[in-house]
Structure 1
């Protein structure tokens, strides 16, 4: 791995942390800009390095640095209902990068579709974890419908907009990186 790759990996880990600080609290899962930087890591770094950037972000938070939404960090954050989305960032960034690596010519449609697939992967991890933590750990006895509504459907329109913004920015930056 080249020094340039390490710098990009670290940069996107830090950008994802910055995105966590731009946050609007909402039930158990806040609105943040983390997804924008996760998506951009997939577009700009490729699958492997995007995966690494999100793993670094996760590890920074787990060792106690306050890089998660709300300025939290530490091993105890694995018990937060929103932690599954952070796990999803790792796989979502990887999938976006993997899909984009398959294209020779990037255009707004294929990059946007790749970001949507990555977003669905993030939701898969996030909503599943939300359901498990609320029901098994917190004993909230929430329904699957409630979790889908409050962990997925409410966020979908805003996150689709974030995907589009990241697509446009990513395509422009990809030409220069």
Structure 2
């Protein structure tokens, strides 16, 4: 039987692992004029699907925090507070909220691949909202230009990543549950 300290340590380790996975997937990128397409959002979806709302959000907070202090974990091996206040910073802040809402949808419904896909689409929308708002402000764009640069290029690839995050996340979650490395939700499906 695990002690409360052991459970907290295991949760901290899981959050740290998913922050590191996000940093690694951030380096997979397709450059675009203002905001690149990267593997970050795939990692956000996987983290939220595996860890749930609270720990998924904590993992993304850790990711943003280590990037904010200057470690090169953001896309293109960048880091520092200037990234968070720049054109792409809203997306990074959005990762925290997206992980929370993705996990929350799953916790309120069921941890299945179809529900995970819906939850990851919710997370994608949350990320795009945060990102587009900051892009508009930082780049002094009108709403049409901000949406054209900050939303449209990411929809198709976002749906693909939402599906992959669902498939990978549910598979990993089930294996971690079997190994007793994470705790099941009260609505967990075997």
Written as runs of structure 1 = structure 2, the 5 A alignment for 1:5-154 is: 5-103=11-109, 105-135=110-140, 142-154=141-153
Q: Write the distance in 2 (CA, Å) between the matches of 1:32 and 1:78.
A: 16
User: How far apart are 1:161 and its partner, in Å?
Assistant: 0.3
Q: Write the distance in 2 (CA, Å) between the matches of 1:171 and 1:43.
A: 6
105-114 or 14-23, larger mean C-alpha shift: 105-114
Q: Write the distance in 2 (CA, Å) between the matches of 1:107 and 1:94.
A: 17
Determine the structure 2 residue equivalent to 1:139: none
Determine the structure 1 residue equivalent to 2:10: 4
SS in 1 for 2:165: helix
User: How far apart are 1:41 and its partner, in Å?
Assistant: 0.9
User: How far apart are 1:28 and its partner, in Å?
Assistant: 1.3
Name segments (4+ residues, structure 1) moved above 2 Å.
105-108
Determine the structure 2 residue equivalent to 1:138: none
Determine the structure 2 residue equivalent to 1:170: 169
RMSD of aligned C-alpha atoms? Answer: 1.1
Q: Write the distance in 2 (CA, Å) between the matches of 1:8 and 1:108.
A: 21
SS in 2 for 1:154: helix
SS in 2 for 1:21: coil
Q: Write the distance in 2 (CA, Å) between the matches of 1:113 and 1:82.
A: 24
Q: Deviations over 1:22-63 (max 9, x none)?
A: 112111111100001101111111111111100100010110
* TM-score calculated relative to the size of structure 2: 0.86
Q: Is the 8 A contact 2:84 2:92 kept in 1?
A: no
Unpaired runs of at least 5, structure 1: 136-141
Q: Write the distance in 2 (CA, Å) between the matches of 1:57 and 1:107.
A: 26
Unpaired runs of at least 5, structure 2: 1-6, 177-190
User: How far apart are 1:107 and its partner, in Å?
Assistant: 2.5
Corresponding pairs, count: 170
SS in 2 for 1:49: helix
